[in-house]
Structure 1
Amino acid sequence: MPRQIPRIDIPQTDLWTTLFDRKEKPFPDSQVIYQDPYSNRHYTYATLKLTTQKFGSGLRTSLSFKKGDVLTLFARNSIDYPAIVWGAHWAGGVVSPANPGYGVRELAHHLRDSGTGVLVTEGGLLGVALQACRQVGIEKSRVLVVGEGEGGDGDGVRGWVEIMEGEVRGERERLDAGRDLGFLVYSSGTTGLPKGVMLTHRNVVSDLFMVNSNEGQILGWKDDRVLSVLPFYHIYGLQCLVHFPAYAGVTTLVMPSFDLKKFCEIIQNHKITYTFVAPPVVLHLAKSPIVSNYDLSSLRMITSGAAPLTKELIHAVHDRLGTEVKQAYGLSETSPVTHMQRKWNKGLGSNGPALPNQICKFMSPDGHEVPPGKEGELWISGPNVFLGYHNNPEATAACKTPDGFFKTGDIGYEDEDGNMYITDRVKELIKYKGFQVAPAELEGILASHEMVADVAVIGVEDLERASEVPLACVVLREGVEGSEEVEREIARWIAERAANHKRLRGGVVFIQEVPKSASGKILRRVLKEEMKKKFKVKAKL
């Protein structure tokens, strides 16, 4: 039977009501919630609430935006991002965040698939946005610009502030939290084309309260300052760095995108105490020489998610900076966070125990639940589990059981204390002569080598063996030159630390950068295509 998980009370309200119609909150209306680290611009709780109301009213009166309409937000992180999201919710709309790295083709697919009615973008992305809009038939008058100057292009495109002139008109749209969508987010597409994930207001509010049950005990609005660098278009950043700060009242400094030097500067200059990141940032903090140029002593804790971290990497950051690194786990389909450590050294290397109000179990390939300590596919049921994939009932049916469990596709196990360890993705397991090899395990071992700055392991076909074999794609540390001797050293490192079937029989290749999604997940299919073009696999071991 699944382990008993604690339960908490969760309001049956939509997100805007949950955040802004609260009967009580511990912090004052004057508390700064979002701050631009490069200027004096900021939003207090009070100005944030008013801006959402004025923008929502403007959407309704200027663009005839109504309940159920979709607003796509195609922009980098900014302190204006949250107000736009909740302004759309105030008017009853659905928000669909889009990756600002999209090209015209990708954005056009997103707009078409989501049924977007209004697009909000920034000046630097306006060219791509307008081309995509032309392809799908969205008029210029329904495109708004946010950012510096906050004005349009003078040719039919307005700044988002232009529709907020005047008083708030009308009342907030009433929503059914359990049925009405709050977000249409798109999965990262690591194993195929991105799919639209339908999240109701109940899904998102439930997960917000689940996260707060853990992080609300760690962070305080009076003493802590959070650095926001995860992309807001991704559900991890959206939940933990957009919704959570507004609920908890914690001041959050917002970076438009990750830059290691600026990241360190902001921590040093603004005495940042906490941040949510993806594993590549943890790797930088452990190994980059740049970090030594800054005083990061205020940074007491980091939460990392999106991919597993090894114990060695966690210890490396703690030894170097004194910063505690704990882990969390989640997926777009679970709104997203399902598991989270509270203390970094309790269940070290795990994702911690399950957050409240869920049922989690690990299943064998033949559909039977496995006992603690044994690996299986993680299945999850709870109020945070998504409604389904947009316009894709086949994909929904394939991953959701009739009794409401979501098949995550992740392989892992639970220890005797309830801490969860994810070992790999079902579709990413390398099958070598009947043995299963988890790329994440080998990556963790390789990342601990002093010559390795970053690494990804993929499976490639070895015709001589008639089997898949592991190939390590390695980014070497600065100052280390790739050579056959270094290849042999890296292969030896694995051979001495892993079972015989996990050896790097596909070899070692040196690359400049590991391709990753914005959330930090390795894009293995992209890497496989690159390797097919550049290399022929040889049996080396």
Structure 2
Amino acid sequence: MPTESAYPKLDIPNVDLWTFLFERKDRSFPDDKVIYINPDTKRSYTYGQVRSTALDFGKGLKANWEWKKGDVLALYTPNCIDTPAILWGTLWAGGIVSPANPGYTAEELAFQLKDSGAKALATQKPFLQTALEACKKAGIEEDRIILIGDEKDETAKFKHFTNVRNISGATRFRKAKIDPKKDLAFLVYSSGTTGHPKGVMLSHSNIVANTMMIKVGEGGNLSWKGGKDGQGDKIMAFLPFFHIYGLTCLIHQSIYSGFTLIVMPKFDLEQFCSHIEKFGITFAYVVPPIVLLLGKSPVVSKYDLSSIRMMNSGAAPLTRELVEAVYDRLKIPIKQGYGLSETSPTTHTQPWETWRTHIGSVGRLLPNQAAKYMSPEEKEVSAGETGELWLKGPNIFLGYLNNEEGTKNALTADGYFKTGDVGHQDKDGNFFITDRVKELIKYKGFQVPPAELEGLLISHPDIDDVAVIGIQDHEQATEVPRAYVVPKKGVEGNKETEKNIVDWLAKKVASHKKLRGGVRFVDEVPKSASGKILRRVLKVRAQEEEKKGEKAKL
């Protein structure tokens, strides 16, 4: 029998996100509660300012561009305190938001713009050139590109979002009518083993449900008031807002529960530690490579991090050694959670009180869900036995955009999502993730599809055949991509050729897709009779190479 969540069932309202966040009757914190702070410029938004800015922007969209229900606004920006207002203003106008990685090349961004059918793009001034190139490829007019952040375009060619929202006559517009369970709020892109990223369709109800589920998972340990300064919990926000982890756990949870986010555009260890000390940060969502730095880097010793009451690690498995190293050094407890883009994302988290007694577990199943582990023959296995995790609940996505086959393979007729992750649960309801069915490489939480890199590498003039796998780099606590290359006849498989290949690919892909695991030269790529790459054979070879001391090249 499937495992049902042990938490009491939540009464999830059938409302759109705007209504859920800004028309609620149960909000305990005031309008002037500060929610988002830029620690560098000190610019901030209170709850009331987010609401009014979003409302103005949503009306501006309708007035400027005759925005229609279902139109997609893409985001191509690092973390910014303007992002939340842009998100909810678009949703108010009936639109869908599709956030993209600001590390994308023009080609990668253009694919997402075209696949999502984006009608407009919001970016920041330093990213304009790549945005322009991508929009040109995707057929988006230049006057549909707007800027957010502190820098404006001095030529006034590209409007700042504050100009889009400040338009006369916009007061006549009304909020779009939304069917929460069917209408999309977000199109987030999750890489697939077939190469191109897949558009994960998340409804308003999916995000409403998961926001409420996360609050239950944190068990009332986080508060909008109290603490040393009476200003409540302050959360460090460096996880990218374009990723579902940051989108829900940071942006939505903060405005729903009244927490203050200290928003970093990207991770920098020195600034991370400095902000914790300066602002009295009490909680942080992190990933294993950050935990590793906290346990080992000498930079950490320069700062007082004692305000941190708990950290939550996700996006990749976390080892006992890392957890204990940080606690021994800093006395900061670290619990784990689990989720995927397709689950909005959080499905499991460890209760605060069990962080040490169940290190290695991703925690317990959050409310309103059912889960089961399945054998390769799709038969349910018993507690303690290993299988693929299947999940069901109100947070499960609606399917992949423009991808019927992918949707059919991921979702069962009775509503279960096949996660592709392998693990087990113990007799007490603690869940464990030990491996992945999927071939995706996870570099510091970012997904890297091997087939995409192989498709690019095969076009290199020195390469006859190639396969890409993920190898574990223990020093950084993450997987890194490595290419196994069959060189063209007459090409030597030496260090010079390796460097040429690594540098060549680096110019064509986002930073997280670089061949940090280096290149190994082989006589042939192992394949099945049907031509499928046998990655497991290469993984065994990589393990043998590691034993011989051939470490990942970083």
Q: Bin the TM-score by the shorter chain.
A: 0.7 to 0.9
- 1:242 aligns to 2:220 (yes or no): no
What does the per-residue CA deviation read over 1:293-324, in whole Å, with 9 as the maximum and x for residues that have no partner?
Answer: 11111112111110000111111111111111
- 1:419 aligns to 2:430 (yes or no): yes
**Change over 3 Å in CA distance of 1:428–1:111 after alignment to 2:** closer
Alpha-carbon distance, 1:2 to partner = 1.5
Q: Which segments of structure 1 move beyond 3 Å, counting only runs of 4 or more?
A: 149-153, 166-169, 188-192, 427-430, 452-463, 525-528, 532-541
Choose which of 149, 152, 161 in structure 1 pairs with 2:151: 149
Per the alignment, residue 141 of structure 2 pairs with 139
Asked if 1 retains the 8 angstrom alpha-carbon contact of 2:124 and 2:151, the reply is no
Distance 2:349 2:195 in 1: 27
Per the alignment, residue 163 of structure 2 pairs with 162
Gaps of 5+ in 2: 226-231, 442-468, 487-501, 525-540, 548-554
Choose which of 65, 68, 71 in structure 1 pairs with 2:67: 65
- 1:38 aligns to 2:40 (yes or no): yes
Asked if 2 retains the 8 angstrom alpha-carbon contact of 1:150 and 1:161, the reply is no
- 1:179 aligns to 2:182 (yes or no): yes
Which residue identity lines up with residue 378 of structure 2 in the other structure?
G
Q: CA RMSD in A?
A: 2.9
**Change over 3 Å in CA distance of 1:460–1:171 after alignment to 2:** closer
| Segment drifting more, 80-89 vs 217-226 | 217-226
Asked if 2 retains the 8 angstrom alpha-carbon contact of 1:234 and 1:519, the reply is no
Which residue identity lines up with residue 220 of structure 2 in the other structure?
Q
- 1:112 aligns to 2:121 (yes or no): no
**Change over 3 Å in CA distance of 1:519–1:21 after alignment to 2:** farther
Choose which of 278, 294, 306 in structure 2 pairs with 1:285: 294
Per the alignment, residue 200 of structure 1 pairs with 203
Alpha-carbon distance, 1:188 to partner = 3.9
Distance 1:152 1:244 in 2: 35
Alpha-carbon distance, 1:149 to partner = 3.4
Alpha-carbon distance, 1:29 to partner = 0.8
Choose which of 378, 388, 397 in structure 2 pairs with 1:377: 388
Per the alignment, residue 79 of structure 2 pairs with 77
Per the alignment, residue 309 of structure 2 pairs with 300
Asked if 2 retains the 8 angstrom alpha-carbon contact of 1:287 and 1:453, the reply is no
Alpha-carbon distance, 1:150 to partner = 3.5
What does the per-residue CA deviation read over 1:361-381, in whole Å, with 9 as the maximum and x for residues that have no partner?
Answer: 000000100011111000011
**Change over 3 Å in CA distance of 1:72–1:455 after alignment to 2:** closer
Q: What SS does structure 2 have at the residue aligned with 1:231?
A: coil
**Change over 3 Å in CA distance of 1:214–1:455 after alignment to 2:** closer
Sequence identity percentage: 49
Q: What SS does structure 1 have at the residue aligned with 2:74?
A: strand
Choose which of 406, 409, 427 in structure 1 pairs with 2:417: 406
**Change over 3 Å in CA distance of 1:349–1:163 after alignment to 2:** same
TM-score (norm 1): 0.82
Alpha-carbon distance, 1:458 to partner = 7.9
Q: What SS does structure 2 have at the residue aligned with 1:347?
A: coil
| Segment drifting more, 328-337 vs 214-223 | 214-223
Q: What SS does structure 2 have at the residue aligned with 1:65?
A: coil
Asked if 2 retains the 8 angstrom alpha-carbon contact of 1:230 and 1:519, the reply is no
Gaps of 5+ in 1: 431-438, 464-510
Which residue identity lines up with residue 202 of structure 1 in the other structure?
S
Per the alignment, residue 531 of structure 1 pairs with 519
Q: What SS does structure 2 have at the residue aligned with 1:427?
A: coil
Distance 1:458 1:392 in 2: 26
What are the within-5 Å matches in structure 2 for residues 446-525 of structure 1? 447=474, 452-454=475-477, 456=479
Number of residues of Structure 1 aligned to a counterpart in Structure 2: 471
Distance 1:131 1:535 in 2: 39
Which residue identity lines up with residue 68 of structure 1 in the other structure?
G
Alpha-carbon distance, 1:459 to partner = 9.3
Distance 1:49 1:459 in 2: 46
Q: What SS does structure 2 have at the residue aligned with 1:84?
A: helix
Distance 1:400 1:374 in 2: 23
Alpha-carbon distance, 1:383 to partner = 0.7
Q: What SS does structure 2 have at the residue aligned with 1:230?
A: coil
Per the alignment, residue 367 of structure 1 pairs with 378
What does the per-residue CA deviation read over 1:100-130, in whole Å, with 9 as the maximum and x for residues that have no partner?
Answer: 0011100110100000001111001010111
Per the alignment, residue 352 of structure 1 pairs with 363
Per the alignment, residue 3 of structure 1 pairs with 3
